[in-house]
Structure 1
Amino acid sequence: MNKFEQLGLNEALLKAINDLGFETPSEVQEKAIPLLLEKDTDIVALAQTGTGKTAAFGFPLIQKIDPENRSTQALILSPTRELCLQITNEIKLYSKYIHGLNTVAVYGGASINDQARDVKRGAQIIVATPGRMQDMINRGLVNITQIDYCILDEADEMLNMGFYDDIVSILSNTPEDKSTWLFSATMPQEVARIAREFMRKPLEITVGHKNSGSSTVSHEFYLVNARDRYEALKRLADANPDIFSVVFCRTKRDTQAVAEKLIDNGYNAAALHGDLSQAQRDSVMKSFRSRQIQMLVATDVAARGIDVDNITHVINYQLPDDIETYNHRSGRTGRAGKLGTSIVITTKSEMRKISAIERTIKQKFEEKSIPSGMEICEIQLLHLANKIHDVEVDHEIDSYLPAIYEVMKDLSKEELIKKMVSVEFNRFLNYYKKNKDISSSRSGNDRSAEDFSSAGGAVRFFINIGSRDDFDWMTLKDFLRDTLGLGRDDIFKVDVKEGFSFFNTDAAHAEEVMSVLNSMHLEGRRINVEVSKNDNTRDRRRDHNGRSNSKNDRRSDFAGRNTRDRKPPRRSDAPFREKKPKRG
């Protein structure tokens, strides 16, 4: 039995759900759908972006609508044109077997007269952006005075975008006895005010904790000098060859500049900001969804409503002013139960922001070092080798092989492999030979890897298992710790790639690591562990969050701050507003 059948949905909806391949309701769907079907009530549902909120309100709404009554019965407000269209398309898919039910999208950037005409023909459900909806009300092109249901989707995003006055005005045109369903990722003061003023004793559904981060997202930060911020971004992209990410900047100018630099450096990147026309925005998003673009550089406002699956990383090129915005950013990855990573590129003067975010999202950041040039070259080399090994051969090439064999006949197998790999690998090697490493640290300790190796400090290992084997950094750390019988903090600086990973231990454990792991097999495949030739480690112990465990280190961190560290903050280092959620 499909678990959606247990929620009380009718046959027409269940048939559409089956067509879509849905089998198990998400937590917010499991909590909201039976409640909304049982009675007409106001609710506030708090759940992170990507948890299935559209279906949570869409299924019960469709079941409650009378398709034979052609008047407008429900209004759904959403923050952006893109999300408005997305909700409309999903409602249409859910209601495909309900004859006579019409859903119309109302948004800016398209003909208001055409939209008014579609509504007049009979639209039981209107999905609208607040600005265009207010415009249509002012012109007398729509009547929402008799609606039964009003849904505010991504309420916190709408209010963050400055739509409070529009929402208040729109709600003032709706009947008092309607049911209001408010869905939001967080509960800032403005959302609580809407709930107080326009809802009647709303029931509350909470998935996870208010304002908390998603459990499927890990959080990392990289400490760099401000002048090295772009170089850090470039190296992080090179260290993650299969990256599919959104890079957040604070301003339109920075967004455009970073995207142009990435494109000049050969990356598949594009900018998304408010100065783009709607046609340009649609083109960028189409390319991003099809993965022709791997790195989408965006402002927070422009990224509102982006709903793209399988984003591997969210990169905070600059931190936002408030924690709720950070939470929205990180919610773009780790969706539908998949794992994701939120990365912050930060400077010493911004470290207080990291602590403020940790307190609110109730998750810890792991401090990591920007990979060295040689480490990136090693990652790229092994990625290329895996790519060559796994590529599917198109046998259209067979007719060309005799000529190719003739060209290559004087090369041995080893020479041929070296030349094939060098075609792609040499550009990384040539670049990083000429560019210095940029890792910073809170202690200011810049000793080389060779110094630490000779001093008997930490050793960095390569291991031939990774995300392809269903590991992330947390599960791999646990696996290594349990297998080797080591303590919680004896495995650190774990970096998981697709087909391989890196990790550190103290030098005292090196012999045990090599002997135990190199004698093991994982699902029939032999585990291979080697000491990484590009050991870019620090000669001090760190906990699982990358922080020093040494009291002396912490004292030296504090003592090492001089007057140069106390320059007035630049605009990107503006004071961080930690908003405390208020109860509604």
Structure 2
Amino acid sequence: MVNTFKELGIKADIVKGLSELGIVNPTPIQQEVIPILLQEKTHLVGQAQTGTGKTAAYGLPILQQVNAKKKYIQALILCPTRELCQQVAKQLFRYTKYTDKIFTEAIYGGEKIDIQIKNLMRPTHIIVATPGRLIDLLNRKVIDLSSVNTVVLDEADEMLSMGFKQQLDEILNTVKNVDNKWLFSATMPHGIRQIVNEHMSAEAHRIQISKDVVNKNIDHKFLQCEETDKLPILLDFLRSRHEERGIIFCKTKAAATKLSKQLIAKNIAAEALQGDMLQKERDKVMRAFKNESLRLLVATDIAARGLDVQDLTFVVHYQMPDQEEYYTHRSGRTARAGKEGLSLALVTTKELRILRGYEKSLQIGFGELKSK
């Protein structure tokens, strides 16, 4: 068992920055992949759930391999959402406090493209991008990826389920001769296997962090009730958790909007996060949530993609998701960075059957909470 980043091969100036951030012990995914990614010319497929430390797992090797003296783009990281792009760029910046200046630029939709084009005129070593906006910039011939030697697909299954398969193929064909191709995904649906087969070496390293390791800090609970009892039960639960913060998941935009209004009417600091919101509305809600003036988000699965908010002690499944990867992504919003968290499902008799299915397929033990 490797207990330090230095033992994994990370340089002292980066380790010093990590230590100041309180990042001392590598997570299982970091222990597994960092030594591999520090080698030259590596293809890797990593399967690990949200909140397991994937950003540092690929980010630290990238930072170590970038030549800060060369003022061109050397690494490309593709992410599903604006929030994840911003989060990754911010993390990379924080890791480099004691290194030579390494410049990372985040580019994504919902921001004026002219501003991003102007920003790309500055020396840039690493690009963190959503696929759609990157294609726009490539079509305008304002971004040069010819010197990129590392490409990362982060949360690849999320990008696929958001409909980015065509853009990913186009981007990967543009950088097809890149030495290092690293793909990270919580799940491995057929579309991800297609991307791996088409764009990566048959000898690619394959690392899977077992679900037991990932879920050890998440306490999975369920409470069986009638649909009409869900709101009062949720209110009781929220009162019992005092000021603790979390995300409540609904299946539809209408349900998320309705539930957020019901919570606000009970003087609970909650806001909906759903797909019909304008980007500026979404940004306003996320700012309030991250600075803790907002206690709860009521979100749909689509709208919650790419969120990375620290210190969330619980998630509530107000409505059970239809797909097991959605349960994986939802529950992974809590118990991040080694902390513990609760994933609570409020289920009707019909939804209990779905839960029992996930219990088997995801190898999770659900404990039952009794309603008062």
Place the TM-score, normalised by the shorter chain, in its bin.
Answer: over 0.9
- One-letter amino acid of the counterpart of residue 280, structure 2: A
Distance 2:126 2:360 in 1: 40
2:93 maps to 92
Give the whole-Å Cα distance in 2 for the aligned partners of 1:318 and 1:88: 33
CA distance in 2, matches of 1:202, 1:142: 28
Structure-to-structure mapping, 1:180-579, within 5 angstroms: 180-200=181-201, 201-209=203-211, 214-371=215-372
Distance 1:295 1:216 in 2: 21
Structure 2 residue 44 is matched with structure 1 residue 6 = no
Give structure 2 stretches of 5+ with no counterpart. Answer: none
Q: Per the alignment, in what secondary structure is the counterpart of residue 23 of structure 2?
A: coil
Q: Write out per-residue CA displacement over residues 130-149 of structure 1, whole angstroms, 9 at most, x where no aligned residue.
A: 11111111222212233111
Say if 2:43 is the partner of 1:42. Answer: yes
Amino acid paired to 2:354: K
Question: Which residue of structure 1 lines up, in the alignment, with residue 112 of structure 2?
Answer: 111
TM-score, normalised relative to structure 1: 0.61
* Aligned counterpart, 2:75: 74
Q: What is residue 166 of structure 2 aligned with on the other side?
A: 165
Q: Unaligned regions of 5+ residues in structure 1, if any?
A: 372-584
Give yes or no for the alignment of 1:146 onto 2:147: yes
Match in the other structure for 2:34: 33
Match of 2:103 in 1: 102
Q: Secondary structure at the match of 2:45?
A: strand
Q: Distance in 2 between matches of 1:67 and 1:39?
A: 18
Runs (4+) of structure 1 exceeding 6 A deviation are none
Aligned mates of 2:179, 2:123 — CA distance in 1? 20
Confirm or deny: 8 A CA contact 1:145 1:175 kept in the other structure.
Answer: no
Residue type at the aligned position of 1:301: I
C-alpha displacement at 1:85, in angstroms? 0.6
Q: CA deviation at 1:127?
A: 0.4
Asked if the contact 1:235/1:370 (under 8 Å) is kept, the reply is: no
State the distance in 1 between where 2:346 and 2:325 align.
Answer: 18
Equivalent in the alignment of 1:572: none
Relative to structure 1, is the Cα distance of residues 16 and 368 closer, same or farther in structure 2, using a 3 angstrom cutoff? closer
Larger mean CA deviation between 326-335 and 285-294 belongs to 285-294
Local SS of the residue matching 1:99? coil
TM-score scaled by length of structure 2: 0.94
2:133 aligned partner:
132
Residues of 1 paired with 2:367 and 2:51: CA distance?
24
Secondary structure, in 3 states, of the residue corresponding to 1:38? Answer: coil
Aligned counterparts of 2:214 and 2:355: Cα–Cα separation in 1: 14
Identify the range of structure 1 (345-354 vs 139-148) with the bigger mean alpha-carbon deviation.
139-148
Is contact 1:147-1:174 (8 Å) kept?
A: yes
Q: Is the 8 A contact 1:213 1:362 kept in 2?
A: no
Query: CA contact under 8 A between 1:255 and 1:272: conserved in structure 2?
Result: yes
Measure how far apart 1:20 and its partner are.
2.1
Q: In 1, are the aligned partners of 2:47 and 2:185 still within 8 Å (CA)?
A: yes
Query: 1:134 corresponds to which letter in structure 2?
Result: I
Q: Could you tell me whether the CA contact under 8 Å between 1:67 and 1:98 is conserved in 2?
A: no
Q: Distance in 1 between matches of 2:3 and 2:180?
A: 29
What code does the residue aligned with 1:183 have?
A: F
**Residue 173 of structure 1, CA deviation:** 0.8
Deviations 1:63-87 (A, max 9, x none): 1111222121110001111110111
Cα distance, 1:213 vs structure 2: 5.9
Q: Deviations over 1:1-57 (max 9, x none)?
A: 982211222233123223323211111111111111133200011112111111111
Identity %: 39
Larger radius of gyration: 1
Counterpart amino acid of residue 25 in structure 1:
P
Higher mean alpha-carbon deviation, 298-307 vs 240-249, is at: 240-249
Q: CA deviation at 1:351?
A: 2.2
Q: Which amino acid aligns with 1:266?
A: N
Shift in Å at residue 331 of structure 1?
Answer: 0.6
- Residue 203 of structure 1 aligns with an amino acid whose one-letter code is H
* Distance of 2:76 and 2:341 partners within structure 1: 33
| Closer, same or farther: CA 213–22 of 1 in aligned 2, 3 Å | closer
Cα pair 1:314 1:332 within 8 Å, conserved? yes
Larger RCO, structures 1/2 (Cα 8 Å, 6+ apart): 2
The separation in 2 between residues aligned to 1:121 and 1:338, in whole angstroms, is 38
Deviation at 1:346, TM superposition (A): 1.4
Distance 1:138 1:236, change over 3 A: same
Please give the alpha-carbon distance, in whole angstroms, between the structure 1 residues aligned to 2:337 and 2:224.
30
AA partner of residue 369 (structure 2): K
In structure 2, give the amino acid aligned to 1:202: A
Contact 2:107 2:134 in 1 (8 A): yes
Q: Check 1:177–1:308 CA distance in 2 against 1; reply closer, same or farther (3 A cut).
A: closer
Q: Is the 8 A contact 1:78 1:129 kept in 2?
A: yes
Separation in structure 1 between the aligned mates of residue 89 and residue 348 of structure 2, nearest angstrom: 42
| TM-fit CA distance, 1:332 | 0.7
Change (3 A) 1:100 1:226: closer
Q: Distance in 2 between matches of 1:280 and 1:167?
A: 28
The SS at the match of 1:120 is coil
- Paired residues of 1:49 and 1:328 also in contact (CA < 8 A): yes
- Contact persistence 1:76–1:128 (CA under 8 A): yes
**Equivalent residue number for residue 391 of structure 1:** none
Q: Please state how far the C-alpha of 1:170 moved relative to its aligned partner.
A: 1.1
- Verify the 8 A CA contact 2:40 2:180 in the aligned structure 1: no
Matched residue of 2:120: which SS?
helix
- Would the aligned equivalents of 2:317 and 2:345 in 1 still touch at CA under 8 Å? yes
SS in 2 for 1:301: coil
Deviation track 1:412-456 (CA, whole Å, cap 9, x = no partner) reads xxxxxxxxxxxxxxxxxxxxxxxxxxxxxxxxxxxxxxxxxxxxx
